[in-house]
């Protein structure tokens, strides 16, 4: 499923199987020839994501970068497949997770040892499958011109230490990764590098952004009127986060 959310932002829905597959977003004005992918998805989903990019009428040679909202397996799993198809594409990750990726530390990617054992039993992954160079290490408050659209990096740790969102302030559009979803749910806070107190602060920060369009990386999106739902979600989960 592909949907144009607003001009210059496409939603490519994840294809969940036994394991969840994150959505991908494509950002860039059509005339810019400068496109950004936000998140990738699970292993084995590369062909589907590449076909979907093509259906957005985006040429692969015009994709300049892949931004990861965080580096959990269901988001970064098919990044090697996309890099193999487009080796020129840069990888951008928040600095708090980028250094782990560069040194081959996959503890955040896998989340916990039990899940890692299951995944390695299902997929023939080499030990250094996700070790790679990160060309740009993102920081909180950084302004990014993505194909003619200006986004602000918002560091929202809690689900993972380097989780980020991308905010388009004029359109009040927020890509929230796995920190908050569009169905009164939030991201897990029991995985490697997760922190419930940080997650609570990040949710309160998001509630203060007055978001109209909420684009999470799983389940449905909210294309207008998201602010009340976000505030209700934050109020609902706050007591459980300390």
Q: Which domains does the chain have, with CATH numbers?
A: 2-241 (3.60.15.10)
| pLDDT computed for residue 127 by the predictor | 83
The reported pLDDT for the residue numbered 170 is 97
Contact (Cβ atoms closer than 8 angstroms) between residue 50 and residue 82: yes
pLDDT for the residue 88: 98
Residue segments in the chain with a per-residue pLDDT below the cut of 70: none
> What is the per-residue pLDDT for 52?
98
The reported pLDDT for the residue numbered 184 is 94
Reading phi first (left if > 0) and then psi (alpha if -120 to 50, else beta), residue 198 is in alpha
Give CA–CA dist 193/55, Å, rounded: 36
Per-residue model confidence (pLDDT) at position 189: 97
Question: pLDDT at position 201, please?
Answer: 98
CB 128 within 8 A of CB 67: no
> What is the structure's pLDDT at 1?
86
**Order of strands across the sheet that contains 35-38:** 2-6, 9-12, 24-27, 35-38, 63-67, 90-94, 136-138
pTM beyond cutoff 0.95: yes
């Amino acid at each position: 499923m592909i949907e144009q959310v607003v001009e210059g932002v496409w939603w490519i829905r994840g294809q969940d199987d036994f394991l969840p597959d994150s959505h991908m977003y494509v950002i860039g004005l059509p005339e810019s020839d400068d496109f950004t992918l936000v998140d990738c998805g699970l292993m084995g989903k590369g062909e589907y994501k590449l076909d979907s990019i093509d259906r957005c009428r985006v040429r692969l040679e015009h994709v300049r970068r892949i931004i990861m909202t965080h580096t959990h397996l269901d988001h970064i799993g098919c990044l090697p497949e996309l890099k193999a198809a487009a080796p020129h594409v840069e990888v951008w990750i928040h600095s708090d997770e980028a250094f782990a990726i560069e040194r081959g530390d996959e503890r955040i990617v896998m989340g916990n040892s039990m899940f890692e054992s299951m995944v390695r039993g299902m997929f023939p992954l080499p030990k250094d499958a996700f070790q790679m160079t990160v060309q740009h290490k993102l920081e909180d408050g950084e302004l990014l011109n993505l194909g003619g659209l200006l986004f602000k990096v918002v560091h929202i740790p809690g689900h993972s230490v380097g989780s980020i969102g991308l905010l388009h302030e004029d359109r009040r559009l927020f890509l929230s990764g796995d920190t908050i979803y569009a169905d009164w749910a939030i991201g897990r806070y029991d995985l490697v590098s997760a922190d419930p107190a940080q997650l609570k602060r990040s949710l309160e920060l998001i509630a203060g952004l007055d978001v109209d369009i909420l684009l999470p990386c799983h389940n449905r999106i909210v294309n207008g009127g998201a602010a009340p739902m976000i505030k209700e979600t934050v109020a609902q989960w706050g007591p459980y986060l300390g």
